[in-house]
Each structure stands twice: as C-alpha cells, then as structure tokens.
Structure 1
Amino acid sequence: MKRALLTLALLAAPALTGAALAQTAPATGTTGTNPASGQQRTIEAITARSDRGFSIRVPAGWTPLKNVPDTDVAFAYRTVGALRPTVTVRTQDVEPSIKATLADFRDLFAGQLVKDVPKLKMLGEKTIRVSGTPAILWTYTGDGEGGGVRWSQVFTLRNNRLYTVTLMTPNGAPADLIEAGREILNSFALTGK
C-alpha cells in the first residue's frame, strides 16, 4: 500500500509543485567587456540557487536552459558526437502522510529504470552525503536518444522534498568532460532547512 501511495504521489508531484524559480549568477561576472577597464571578461562558473532549497555550480561552457518541463534547473554543454551533455535538478514535494524514506525511492526508481532505459547496465550504487543528508549516487549506461549514454544520478530526501540531480554524457565523452561532470555533482548542496 505504501509503495502505491508513493508512486501516486510522485506522479502527481510535478502538477502540484509547479515551476520552481531558480536564479543563476555568474561567479566572475558576465561575458562581455568590463566598462571600467575595457577588458574582456569571461564566466568561469555559474552557480544556480533555488528557493526550492538547493544550489549547484557548473563550469564555463555549460549553457542554462529555460522552460525544461518538470525541471528546476537545467544546463547543456556543447554537442559531443551526436548528443549534448546535460545536467538537470528536479525537486518533488512528497506528502508527509506517506512517510516515504530514501530507500523507498531507491526501490521505486530501480524498478522504473528497468522499464525506461533500453539496454540498461547498472555500473554502481554508492551511499553518499549531500550537505550532511544521506543520498544515493547511481551510475548507469543505456541507449538514449541519439546513441549510447552514461548517466550519473544523485537523489536525496530532506523535509519531505525529493531532490534528483541527473548528469547525462554520451559514451566515450572526453576525460575532461567526465571530470567536469563529477565536479558538478559534487557541487550540489542543500540550502534549505
């Protein structure tokens, strides 16, 4: 019964939560000419902060995407092969009466992955901490739209809000892109109480 309620709550959550507002702020200014010095400035990183209780930092070269359905923030990198690497953060409020745990979501997501990802191959699962809160890190591969894909996904639960961070890179992505992806996932922080 609990699993059925949890599934229903997650399916309804996007309609209930609406679009979250996120602010993106360059760490070192915007691209363009500095009026005071006349010198060119570049963005070294962008930190997205959301009133939904999180922040995430992406390095230069990642472009913020707007109006991505059921997503709080999204960034894309330049095309690698036939695919554009992306990182997304999604939050979902969970009805407190369900009393869902991180393990409940892990089991629900594991069952859904098998259905949603063609040629799924789970590469690893690790228990980690995000801002002191238990979290799960998954790495898996499968077929995506346009070719073979590697996903790294972090999900955690705090104060009846589920946070899911997903990094998608094409198979065979350059090592520096993989490292940048690790840094992005590691930068994810919970800022709410």
Structure 2
Amino acid sequence: MKRALLTLALLAAPALTGAASAQTTPAPATPETRTIEAITATSEKGYSIRVPAGWTPLKNVPGTDVAFVYQKIGSLRPTVTVVVQDIPADLKATLADVRDLNARKMPDVVPKLKMLGEKTVKVSGKPAILWTYTGDGEGGTVRWTQVFTLKNNRLYTATLMTPTGTPGDVIEQGRAILDSLTLK
C-alpha cells in the first residue's frame, strides 16, 4: 500500500513552477560575444547548484526546477536538470523506497536501458543514490548520470544527460555540476 501511494504521489506531482534564481559572474564582453564565467542557481525549494562557463540556463522547462544546456553535440545538447518533488509526510517514504520505485519505472521510461552502476553517496551530509545508465534518447544513444536524495519529505533529483560523442571535459563539467548540488 505504501509503495502504491508513493507511486501516485511522485507521478501526480504538479509541474514545478518555482523557478530557481541564478547569479552570474560575467566576463568582459565584446559586442559580438558574451561569456558567463559561472552561474549559481539558488532555488526557493531548498538547494543550490553551480554551473561553469559554457552552460546556458533554460527557462520554463516543463517538470524541472532548473535546467542548463551545453553546445550541441550531433543532434543533442548535454543537459543538466534538477527536479524537486514534495512527498506527503504521511507516506514516510525512505530513500530506499524511492530508489526501488524508480528502478521499477526505468525500463518503461528509457528505451534500451542499460544500468552501468549505482553508488551510495552523500549530498550535504544526506544519503543519496548515484546512478549511471544509457539508453535511447531523442536523437540517439545517451548516457545519464543521476543523483537523488530526500530531505524533509522533498525528493531532489539532479540529472546529467550526455549524448554519445560528448568530449571528456564536458562530461567532467557535468559531473562537477551534479557534485555541486547543495541542500539548504
């Protein structure tokens, strides 16, 4: 019963409308170019995340609190998203519950899913799950690196999506973005 209610709570979560604010540190710009040194997105939903130069914030991405993209690689752009979902307190959901539910849903959501690894990590001292997996995305094979954790009945999920052929330095930048996730 608890799992069924948790499934309903996560699937029925309303679209996230609270936008994270971004603080930028611009470099001197010429008339034809403008470079952003770094962006720290601080959300009213209780987290911040730091994004290096070269990543562009996207606004109004359905179902996300914040999203950033890199330059196009093939037909896709590396993307980092953060999704925040409130879970009713009476469900008493644990990180293990969320992990199990997500693991069951993944094959239906990701065509040609191949799980590459799972680790237990920490985000701001809280236990978190780090997944790496591949599958078919819109426009080709992609790799996802995803970290999720719970704090105060709130599920935080930060995801890096990189298409096949993404240079190693861009993948490292994306991982550094995920590592910068800080809960408030």
TM range (shorter): over 0.9
Alpha-carbon distance in 2 for matches of 1:41, 1:75: 17
C-alpha distance after superposition, 1:160-190 (max 9, x if no partner) = 0000001000022111111111111111110
- 2:60 is matched with which residue? 67
Counterpart contact for 2:147–2:158, Cα < 8 Å: yes
Query: 1:97 and 1:149, CA in 2 relative to 1: closer, same or farther beyond 3 A?
Result: same
Unpaired stretches in structure 1, ≥5 consecutive residues: 34-39
- Work out the CA distance in 1 between the residues paired with 2:19 and 2:166: 31
The answer to whether the aligner puts 1:32 opposite 2:25 as a matched pair is no
Partner of 1:86: 79
2:152 paired residue number: 159
Unpaired segments ≥5 residues, structure 2: none
Deviation at 1:81, TM superposition (A): 1.2
Task: Answer whether contact 2:35 2:54 (CA < 8 A) is retained.
Answer: no
Give TM-score scaled by structure 1 length.
0.90
Classify 1:30/1:69 alpha carbon distance in 2 versus 1 (closer, same or farther; 3 Å): farther
Name the counterpart of 1:36: none
CA contact (8 A) 2:27 2:37 kept: no
For residues 104 and 30 of structure 1, what CA distance do their matches in structure 2 show? 45
SS at match of 2:176: helix
Contact 1:126 1:137 in 2 (8 A): yes
Q: CA deviation at 1:31?
A: 5.8
Question: Secondary structure at 1:6's aligned position in 2?
Answer: helix
On the 8 A contact 2:73/2:165 being kept in 1, the answer is no
Q: Deviations over 1:5-35 (max 9, x none)?
A: 00111122225xx411310011x336636xx
1:26-50: CA deviations, max 9, x gaps?
Answer: 1x336636xxxxxx97421111000
How far the C-alpha of 1:82 sits from its partner, in A, is: 1.3
- Report what 1:144 is aligned to: 137
Whole-angstrom distance in 1 between the partners of 2:133 and 2:180: 20
In the alignment, what sits opposite 2:125? 132
Corresponding position of 1:37? none
Give me the TM-score of the superposition, normalised by structure 2: 0.94
Letter in 1 for 2:107: V
Distance in structure 2 (CA, Å) of the matches to 1:188 and 1:126: 16
* CA RMSD in angstroms, aligned pairs only: 1.5
Per-residue CA deviations over 1:128-171 (Å, capped at 9, x if unaligned) read 00000000000000110000000000000000000000100002
Give 3-state SS (helix, strand or coil) of 1:70's partner.
coil
CA distances 1:69-123 after superposition (whole Å, capped 9, x unpaired) = 1110001111011111110001000000000000000000001111111111100
